[in-house]
Amino acid sequence: MNKPELLAPAGDLEKLKMAIIYGADAVYIGGEEFGLRKASKNFTLEDIEKGIEFAHDRDRKVYVTLNIIPHNEDLVGLDEYVLELEKIGVDGVIVADPGVFSVIRRVAPNMPIHLSTQASATNYETIKFWYDLGIRRIVVARELSLEEIKEIKESLPEDLEIEAFVHGAMCISYSGRCLLSNYMVGRDANRGECAHPCRWKYSLMEEKRPGEYFPIYENEKGTFIFNSKDLCMIENIPELIEAGVCSFKIEGRVKSQYYVATVIRSYRKAIDEYFRLKEDYVYKEEWLEEIKKASYRDFTTGFYFKKPTGEDQVYGSSSYIREYDFVGLVLDYDEKTEIATIEQRNRMFVGDEIEVFGPNKEFFVQKIEDMWNENGEEIDVAPHPQQIIKMKMKKPVENWDIIRRARKD
Look at residues 108, 100, 129 and name the one whose alpha carbon lies nearest to residue 35. Answer: 100
pLDDT at 399 over 70: yes
Give the closest residue to 24 by CA, choosing from 81, 63, 50, 70.
Answer: 63
Tens digits of per-residue pLDDT, 353-382? 999 999 988 999 999 999 999 999 999 999
Which pLDDT tens digit goes with each residue over 20-62? 999 999 999 998 877 655 554 579 999 999 999 999 999 999 9
Task: Inform me whether the pLDDT recorded for 191 exceeds 60.
Answer: no
How far is 139 from 142, CA to CA, in rounded Å?
Answer: 9
Amino acid at the residue 270: A
State pLDDT tens for residues 275-313: 999 999 999 999 999 999 998 888 899 889 988 776 666
Contact 28, 270 (CB under 8 A): no
**Tens digit of each residue's pLDDT (9 = 90 or more) over 317-340:** 656 788 999 999 999 999 999 999
The CA-CA-CA angle for residues 36, 307, 174, to 5°, reads 25
Q: What fold is seen in the domain 324-406?
A: Elongation Factor Tu (Ef-tu); domain 3 (2.40.30)
Question: What pTM was computed for the model?
Answer: 0.87
- Domain 5-173+227-306 is found in CATH 3.40.190.10: no
| 99-126 average pLDDT score | 95
Neighbouring-strand partners of residue 32: none
> In the chain, where are the structural domains located?
5-173+227-306, 324-406
pLDDT at residue 19 in the model: 97
